[in-house]
Amino acid sequence: MAGIDKATFFVRGSVQGVGFRWWARAKAKELGLVGYARNLDDGRVEVCAQGPVADVETMERLLSEQPSTAGRPGRVRGVTAQWGGIRSDLDGFTEQ
């Protein structure tokens, strides 16, 4: 799968209960990415995004840019990315 990669982003800040997962899903679908967004017990949101490298990089920028130019809800204090590990079981983009 040349040119395809996956990144898992861990988003810190006030990102739960504000529509952040819905927003992440909408942006990922616009970019044609597959994956998911889910709340973690420690207050972060985990966003897994897989697709063309340039589009995954765009998703990372949208998640972390300050201030948001894309109407991102909540307040993001930081984003940590883990790249690699393409998954064949991802289909569509879901909120979990």
The string of pLDDT tens digits covering residues 12-32 is: 999 999 999 999 999 999 999
Q: Where are the alpha helices (DSSP H) in the chain?
A: 20-31, 53-64
Q: b/e for 66-75, b at 16 or more Cβ within 10 A? A: eeeeeebbbe
Which residues are known catalytic residues? Answer: 21, 39
**What is the pTM for the complete model shown?**
0.94
4, 52 in Cβ contact below 8 A? yes
Q: Is the per-residue pLDDT at 1 higher than 70?
A: no
| Residue among 26, 34, 20, 22 at smallest CA distance from 79 | 20
**Cα 96 from Cα 91, distance rounded (Å):** 13
**Cα 6 from Cα 43, distance rounded (Å):** 23
The string of pLDDT tens digits covering residues 45-83 is: 999 999 999 999 999 999 999 999 999 999 999 999 999
Q: For residue 2, name the pLDDT band (cuts at 50, 70, 90).
A: low
Residues 6+ apart with CB under 8 A from 55: 31, 32, 33
